[in-house]
């Protein structure tokens, strides 16, 4: 049976003042299944094309922290329930790693949906 889920893309905006971004991850939340997960795939070459001086290690650390927040194993929202952790992760920010808008859908497998969204929204387009 399909149930509703929410998701947001995590974007890397190396120069906030320019507003250019590279999709680097996805967060999926499914209340009905008690699921919160994130997958990241940072394309360093694409990010450096926007800003050759970007601190890739710092960006990677922030993206990793998002996965820890989903797992409940790290980050400032660790003690919160998964719904609050999702809202914390998707709150608007003016930092180098920013969440995109929250979207909804229906799925029967939130983990598989997360993998699919990573391929569709983050992975390089096959040429």
Residue 93 lies in a domain: yes
pTM (2 decimals)?
0.94
Residue with tokens 């983990």: 111
Residue 127 lies in a domain: no
What pLDDT is stored for residue 78 in this prediction? 82
Number of structural domains the chain divides into: 1
pLDDT at residue 126 tops 80: no
What pLDDT is stored for residue 125 in this prediction? 77
| Cα gap 21→115, rounded to integer Å | 21
DSSP, res 77? T
Comparison of pLDDT for 124 and 126, the residue scoring more: 124
Residue 126 lies in a domain: no
What's the pLDDT tens digit per position in 43-83? 999 999 999 999 999 999 999 999 999 998 987 788 899 99
Residue 58 lies in a domain: yes
SS3 string, 95-121, reads: CCEEECCCEEEEECCHHHHHHHHHHHH
What pLDDT is stored for residue 32 in this prediction? 97
What's the pLDDT tens digit per position in 7-55? 999 999 999 999 999 999 999 999 999 999 999 999 999 999 999 999 9
Residue 10 lies in a domain: yes
Sign of the C-alpha dihedral computed for residues 61, 62, 66 and 72 taken in this order? positive
Structural domain boundaries, residue 83: 3-121
């Amino acid at each position: 049976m399909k149930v509703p889920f929410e998701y947001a893309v995590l974007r890397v905006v190396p120069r906030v003042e320019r507003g250019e971004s590279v999709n680097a991850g996805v967060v999926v939340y499914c209340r009905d299944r008690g699921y919160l997960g994130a997958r990241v795939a940072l394309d360093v070459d694409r990010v450096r094309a926007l800003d050759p001086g970007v601190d890739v290690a710092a960006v990677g650390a922030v993206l990793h922290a998002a996965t820890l927040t989903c797992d409940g194993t790290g980050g400032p929202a660790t003690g919160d329930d998964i719904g609050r952790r999702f809202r914390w992760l998707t709150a608007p920010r003016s930092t180098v790693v920013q969440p995109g808008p929250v979207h909804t859908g229906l799925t029967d497998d939130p983990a598989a949906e997360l993998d699919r969204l990573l391929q569709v929204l983050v992975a390089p387009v096959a040429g």
